[in-house]
Chains A and B, each alone.
Chain A
Amino acid sequence: MASVYAYISSDEGQSYIRSCLTRRRLGVFLDTDIEEAVLSEALRFLSRGEEITSAAAWCRRRINARTIDLSRGAIRKERVTGVRVDLNDANEGQVFDDAPALSEGLSLADVRQAVANADDTDANISAALTYVTRVADDASLHTKCPQPQSGSTRNEAAMWAGLWYSGADSCFGPGNATTKRRSRAMERVRVLLVTCAKAITPKGDSNE
């Protein structure tokens, strides 16, 4: 990340950003938007374990792409697939046994940062952030937010809230298909949270 930041801040990087903006006939005042976009993309790229071998080459390509995005009038939607997990062997009671250990010394800000930078769908990121707020901040739920009736863990109930606030309305209501859909959606969010927790847990502290 340091090398990406160094390139972006360098005269060469700044000059390349300006040349890309000029080539697209966009105002050079948009340079900070490009910097912000490339840096946040680098964070996501590195957080999923990928490597940047040449910061200059990586940045130049991203700067070019992000400039094109700006001239298109919207940020490109590149992440179209979420994490898909086969739930054949899981049931709802087991799903949260390895929920992220928010109380085991991890900084809440670090967890949120990791979730926000995760390479996942908008809906999953939104649900995971709500989950964190519900569990860690003990936020009270809206009266319309559906909750499991009984026999559910606190984490599971928080996951219901995560789904509802993220707009997953189709996960609530009667019927086996709905229950199955909800289970899968919850599992996707759980995988995201566990991945983020693992990514920010200092090596040696892992339970694995």
Chain B
Amino acid sequence: MSEFVLHQEEGIVEAVARTSGPAGVVTASLFDGSIEIDLDGADVRNICGVRAYSDNDLRDEQYEWLSRLISVSRRELEAGLSSPSLRRVGSARSRNFSAREFDADLDTSFSVFALDWCSRNPNSPKGKLVELLGVVSARRAGLWTPQERVFSFEEIRPSLLSYQTAGMAGRGRFLLTQALSDAVQYGLLDGTNDVELHSLLSIDTASSVLDSPMPDALELFDLSHRSLSLSSELVSMSRINDEVFLPRAVSAAGVSIWEGSAFADRVITRWLDSSNLGVSITGAISEDEQWWARCFDQNSHLLLGAAPIKTESGTSIILIKEGPITLDIARSVSAPLLSKRGSDTQDAINAGRRAGVSERLGDTDRAEEYWRECATKHAQAGDPHRAKMAGARTMMRQELSEPLLGDYFL
């Protein structure tokens, strides 16, 4: 599983340290996009790869950080970046590297994790808080980033005082107060005159605030859904399907579900009239995620219409004329249609990530459940190697990292 190779091509120097496991990688762009770092999706302290792009001028502190992270001298990195052709610079064997040297510290891990999470969930109400905590970790880890900005306490207050943080475990609460305290100290968080913020900066007084979440926190989180009122028939139909175990996916006349669609086995479609297609997803959808229902012409795959899935109700209405169409659920309107295997691979990776979180939090039962799901999905995708790796995780105990702050409330 461990290897190290440094190579250069097309203006990129890439250091590959490890093979990512069944949970794929979490990736973040650091240093204004000039450097990217990949960590294993489940074992988030394992560095899988680091890339440096030559079209962004690297500064001294970036070279220093790169050298520290991957133990390659600045002279060699510069030679790699300026070389016009593909060139293998070194390998694990020739350099006597060991995988142990490529572990990220907890702050680097959480910084990458937080940035990756924010880019995957751009509309989440928790985004500002996660971003702030990620920037604090970046500062602690010594990562330079020019996008640092000052957050106001009002920006993060709703997510900080939501029901999720009220139920946070003691260790998570300790990490949170430390991070907020550092945010104030680094000048990243403004609001030092706020009584609530003052209380949150100490573990002794934080409980008084965190255990009394804002009464309207739920409403704040659901603000974007407040004015939508869908056909009650559609919503009740999805509930009935959940309860009596009818076939989960039901398609309206002329509507076929794309094979690689997200939630393909949980989608119910129904014509509300000749121009309105109701779409409903059975089961829960994370409030952090944004999903779009998209209609394509069945023959040409031309995009005809799209509408967001409301996470509160799991429903959506698309304006489209009745006819033979293909429905797809995706994270973005303009994302290309995924194959069934591609979709299964993504499901497997997401299950693996959830397994990693559960493992770090010590919830072994749930971790095993997610690893089994991960293995099944990889097998369905036709990737027996990763399926085997995921299956093996349910049987052997790994040397696990401590939980990241985000594990407690994301």
Q: Are A and B a genuine interacting pair, yes or no?
A: yes
CB A205 to nearest CB in B, in angstroms, measures 22
For the complex, what is the distance from the CA of A133 to the CA of B229, rounded to whole Å? 22
Is there a chain A Cβ closer than 8 Å to B213's Cβ? no
A29 touches B227 (CB 8 A): no
A169 touches B225 (CB 8 A): yes
A37 touches B336 (CB 8 A): yes
Is there a chain A Cβ closer than 8 Å to B26's Cβ? yes
Q: Residues 302-318 of chain B: 1 if any A CB is under 8 Å from the residue's CB, otherwise 0?
A: 11111110100000011
Q: Which chain B positions have C-beta within 8 A of A134?
A: 319
Given A25-B20, A36-B337, A122-B334, the answer on whether A73 and B41 have CB atoms closer than 8 Å is yes
Q: Which of A57, A64, A70, A133 contacts B305 (CB 8 A)?
A: A133
Residue with the greatest number of chain A CB neighbours at <10 A, chosen from B19, B310, B333 = B333
A125 touches B120 (CB 8 A): no
Is there a chain B Cβ closer than 8 Å to A77's Cβ? yes
Is there a chain A Cβ closer than 8 Å to B254's Cβ? no
For the complex, what is the distance from the CA of A70 to the CA of B344, rounded to whole Å? 11
Q: Residues 269-305 of chain B: 1 if any A CB is under 8 Å from the residue's CB, otherwise 0?
A: 0001111100000000000001010000000101111
Q: Which of B12, B321, B341, B346 contacts A139 (CB 8 A)?
A: B321
Q: Which chain B positions have C-beta within 8 A of A125?
A: 306, 333-334
Task: Of the listed stretches B101-109, B161-169, B171-179, B379-387, name the one at the interface; the rest are far from the partner chain.
Answer: B379-387
Is there a chain A Cβ closer than 8 Å to B75's Cβ? no
For the complex, what is the distance from the CA of A129 to the CA of B307, rounded to whole Å? 10
Is there a chain B Cβ closer than 8 Å to A33's Cβ? yes
User: What is the size category of the interface that chain B forms with chain A?
Assistant: 35 or more
Is there a chain B Cβ closer than 8 Å to A204's Cβ? no
CB A150 to nearest CB in B, in angstroms, measures 22
In chain B between 319 and 375, which residues have their CB closer than 8 angstroms to a CB of chain A? Answer: 319-321, 331-339, 341-342, 345-346, 349-350, 353
Is there a chain A Cβ closer than 8 Å to B264's Cβ? no
Closest B residue to A125 by beta carbon equals: B333
Closest B residue to A60 by beta carbon equals: B10
A139 touches B25 (CB 8 A): no
For the complex, what is the distance from the CA of A24 to the CA of B51, rounded to whole Å? 13
In chain B between 176 and 217, which residues have their CB closer than 8 angstroms to a CB of chain A? Answer: none
| Interface of B: prevailing SS | mixed
Q: Which chain B positions have C-beta within 8 A of A75?
A: 331-332, 335
Closest A residue to B7 by beta carbon equals: A23
Q: Which of B307, B334, B346 contacts A70 (CB 8 A)?
A: B346
Closest B residue to A110 by beta carbon equals: B302
User: What is the size category of the interface that chain A forms with chain B?
Assistant: 35 or more
Given A73-B350, A74-B120, A141-B319, the answer on whether A167 and B10 have CB atoms closer than 8 Å is no
Q: Which of B16, B319, B339 contacts A161 (CB 8 A)?
A: B319
CB B17 to nearest CB in A, in angstroms, measures 13
For the complex, what is the distance from the CA of A112 to the CA of B305, rounded to whole Å? 9
Is there a chain B Cβ closer than 8 Å to A15's Cβ? no
Q: Which of A144, A165, A170 contacts B319 (CB 8 A)?
A: A165
Is there a chain A Cβ closer than 8 Å to B27's Cβ? yes
Q: How many pairs of residues, A versus B, come closer than 8 Å at their CB atoms?
A: 173
Given A71-B349, A129-B304, the answer on whether A139 and B336 have CB atoms closer than 8 Å is no
Q: Residues 139-156 of chain A: 1 if any B CB is under 8 Å from the residue's CB, otherwise 0?
A: 111101000000000000
Closest A residue to B384 by beta carbon equals: A27
B120 touches A32 (CB 8 A): no
Q: Which of A32, A72, A123 contacts B116 (CB 8 A)?
A: A72
For the complex, what is the distance from the CA of A8 to the CA of B339, rounded to whole Å? 18
A116 touches B334 (CB 8 A): yes
Closest A residue to B260 by beta carbon equals: A33
A169 touches B10 (CB 8 A): no
For the complex, what is the distance from the CA of A77 to the CA of B27, rounded to whole Å? 12
Q: Which of A57, A70, A126 contacts B306 (CB 8 A)?
A: A126
B16 touches A23 (CB 8 A): yes
B275 touches A129 (CB 8 A): no
Is there a chain A Cβ closer than 8 Å to B228's Cβ? yes
Closest A residue to B346 by beta carbon equals: A73
Q: Which chain B positions have C-beta within 8 A of A129?
A: 303-306
Q: Which of A133, A167, A173 contacts B310 (CB 8 A)?
A: A167
Q: Residues 25-64 of chain A: 1 if any B CB is under 8 Å from the residue's CB, otherwise 0?
A: 1110110110011011000100000000000010011001
Closest A residue to B386 by beta carbon equals: A25
CB A30 to nearest CB in B, in angstroms, measures 6
For the complex, what is the distance from the CA of A115 to the CA of B19, rounded to whole Å? 39
Is there a chain B Cβ closer than 8 Å to A166's Cβ? yes
Closest B residue to A41 by beta carbon equals: B336
Given A73-B350, A139-B320, the answer on whether A30 and B274 have CB atoms closer than 8 Å is no
User: Please, could you name 14 A-B residue pairs with CB atoms under 8 Å apart, sorted by A?
Assistant: A24-B20, A27-B341, A36-B337, A57-B10, A64-B12, A73-B23, A80-B122, A109-B302, A122-B306, A125-B333, A126-B306, A142-B273, A165-B317, A165-B319
* Residues in B lying within 8 Å of A, measured CB to CB: 9-10, 12, 16, 19-20, 23-27, 36, 38, 41, 116, 119-120, 122, 223-230, 272-276, 290, 292, 300, 302-308, 310, 317-321, 331-339, 341-342, 345-346, 349-350, 353, 381-383, 385-386
* Residues in A lying within 8 Å of B, measured CB to CB: 23-27, 29-30, 32-33, 36-37, 39-40, 44, 57, 60-61, 64, 68, 70-77, 80, 109, 112-113, 115-118, 122-123, 125-126, 129-130, 133-134, 137, 139-142, 144, 161, 165-167, 169-170, 172-173
With A126-B333, A165-B307 known, 5 other A-B pairs at CB within 8 A are: A25-B385, A30-B345, A71-B349, A77-B119, A133-B305
